[in-house]
Amino acid sequence: MTDDEFENFLRHAARDYNEPPATPHDAMWARIETARREKSSSAPLHIASPRRWLMLGSAIAAMLLVGIAIGYVWRGTTDSRLVAERPGGAADSAQPLHVAAESGQPGIPDSGTSSRESAPRTPGEQRLAAVPPDTRVDARDLSGSARRPVPNAAGVAAGNQSAAYATLTAEHLGRVEMLLTSYRAESERGEVDPQITSWAGDLLGTTRLLLDSPGASDARMRKLLGDLEIVLTQITQLGAEQGTKKDELQLIDQSLRSHDVMTRIRGVTPAGAGALPIGT
């Protein structure tokens, strides 16, 4: 018996050794997918895929925009308060007359106001135009007619502030509505994607900024934002814990239902959400 003969025999006979059946492709793939889904739902959020980077970038950009806009609204409020507190009214409104008087052309109107408002019409106004700039505020107080632009400037500032706040709030509520819709679809399956909890965290920050903004004077809106803050906090908390607990999902659903959050959001947000301002 040579080695070659034995090897030939071995190769032939060993084919039957633990001979495998047909590969159960589908059954194994289903188990692999389940195991991977379980792992990904319990694992902390990894920002790896381009889609996640895009989402994170969009969220940061949205946060920055909201922050800048709120800052703008805040500055507008502060300016209009200073104008209202200053005796004699707004410096901006006096500017056209001042410039006109300095240039020696009292009849030239400012581009932002009508010629009827800026041009000296009465003898008193004509005299005012001739008054030196340093003493003009007092003179306008005395004349009475020059005080007219002051309430207009405050009104314009307040209007701008209100419109900007309403726009931002409507956009924000649109995003929250999208999030809650996605969340409800996920929670029905008994698990919530980590991206949802991360998104809720971003929206929670914006909600708090809007709540703290001086523009949030509407009691109904404040109440809605307060309720959203609670719900978003609960959803964000899901991401901080290992695995998704059924009790917590039920608690969030209960909060959504008891506060009637979705209906209230839709009540204050125009159709198409996100892009359209409310109250305009």
Interface with other proteins (CB under 8 A): 1, 3, 5-7, 9-11, 13-18, 20-21, 23-25, 27-29, 31-32, 35-36, 39
CA distances from 77 to 14, 154, 220 (A): 87, 9, 21
Rounded least distance, CB 48 to other proteins, Å: 9
**Closer CB to other proteins, residue 32 or residue 68?**
32
**Closer CB to other proteins, residue 5 or residue 247?**
5
CA distances from 164 to 2, 44, 104, 222 (A): 94, 37, 39, 16
Rounded least distance, CB 55 to other proteins, Å: 21
Rounded least distance, CB 9 to other proteins, Å: 4
Rounded least distance, CB 15 to other proteins, Å: 7
CA distances from 20 to 7, 28, 98 (A): 22, 15, 98
**Closer CB to other proteins, residue 32 or residue 275?**
32
- Kindly give the interhelix angle for 91-103 and 136-143, rounded to the nearest 10 degrees: 110
**Closer CB to other proteins, residue 28 or residue 82?**
28
Specify the DSSP class assigned to residue 135. Answer: G
| 62 Cα distance to chain centroid | 6
**Closer CB to other proteins, residue 17 or residue 263?**
17
Is 45:236 a contact under the CB 8 Å cutoff? no
Rounded least distance, CB 59 to other proteins, Å: 25
**Closer CB to other proteins, residue 18 or residue 111?**
18
Rounded least distance, CB 56 to other proteins, Å: 19
CB neighbours of 1 closer than 8 A, spacing ≥ 6? none
> Hey, what are 191's tokens?
């698990």
Return d(Cα 256, Cα 113) in angstroms, integer: 50
What amino acid is encoded at 78 in this protein? T
